[in-house]
Amino acid sequence: MLSRADYAGFAGELAGSGCRRCPLSDSRTRIVVDRGNPEAKVMVIGEGPGENEDIQGKAFVGRAGKLFDTIMASVGLDSNRDMLIANVVKCRPPGNRAPLDEEVEACSPFLRRQIELVRPRVIILLGATALKRMDPSKKSFSMEEEAGRFISLPAYPGIDFLVLYHPAALLYNSRLKPAMWSHVKELRKFLDAAG
């Protein structure tokens, strides 16, 4: 069973590693490992740190993160207590662009280790980058078709994955909010049924 010390050791080692596995290290301020509770049953995977995350060294603390916290609170979930939030890449892509395939690949061992240590019951995939990273068979797809779906991935037996819109998308497209509300209510029902 995971102890806080095991995960804290991993997180501290990564944050202080000075990783140079890809060019994102050239422009970052900090390696952003996560935010939340490593003993939670829910893990969240987003795209990558933004400017606020790069400065503070914590995942999802900018506008999109605050919106995500509000969305989760609307169904009785506390983002710091009830989940661990991580990203596909641990360093901020310049200009908040989507991470390149080679950057995602360079960070993949870190994300895999996080999943191994946390052993969540559910992983929420926020947006297209997270879905493509966890399910490489997804080459071309529409988030409108994928969002709200629970999926299973053979590489991660015993873990259910829920695909959701990235909260940053909601900041720019308010038409997605009703669908997101419906999806998080389904998440709440799923978690209640799973115990």
CA 98 to chain CA mean position, Å: 14
What six digits make up the tokens of 32?
């952003």
- Tens digits of per-residue pLDDT, 147-177? 999 999 999 999 999 999 999 999 999 999 9
| Integer Rg of the chain from CA | 16
Range of the domain at 162: 4-194
Residue whose C-alpha is closest to residue 75's, from 183, 159, 1: 183
Tokens 């990558």 sit on residue: 48
**Which is it for strands 150-152 and 42-46: parallel, antiparallel or unpaired?**
unpaired
Q: What contacts 118, CB < 8 A, 6 or more positions away?
A: 2, 7, 38, 39, 40, 43, 84
pTM of the predicted model as reported, rounded to 2 decimal places = 0.95
| 15 vs 83: CA distance, rounded Å | 19
CB-neighbour burial class of residue 117 (10 A; exposed 0-12, middle 13-18, buried 19+): middle
**Count of the separate structural domains present in the chain:** 1
* Cα angle 41, 80, 8; round to 5: 75
| 55 vs 30: CA distance, rounded Å | 7
Residue 1 pLDDT > 60, yes or no? Answer: no
Residue 188 pLDDT > 80, yes or no? Answer: yes
- Tens digits of per-residue pLDDT, 61-117? 999 999 999 999 999 999 999 999 999 999 999 998 999 999 999 999 999 999 999
Q: What is the CATH number of the domain that holds 166?
A: 3.40.470.10
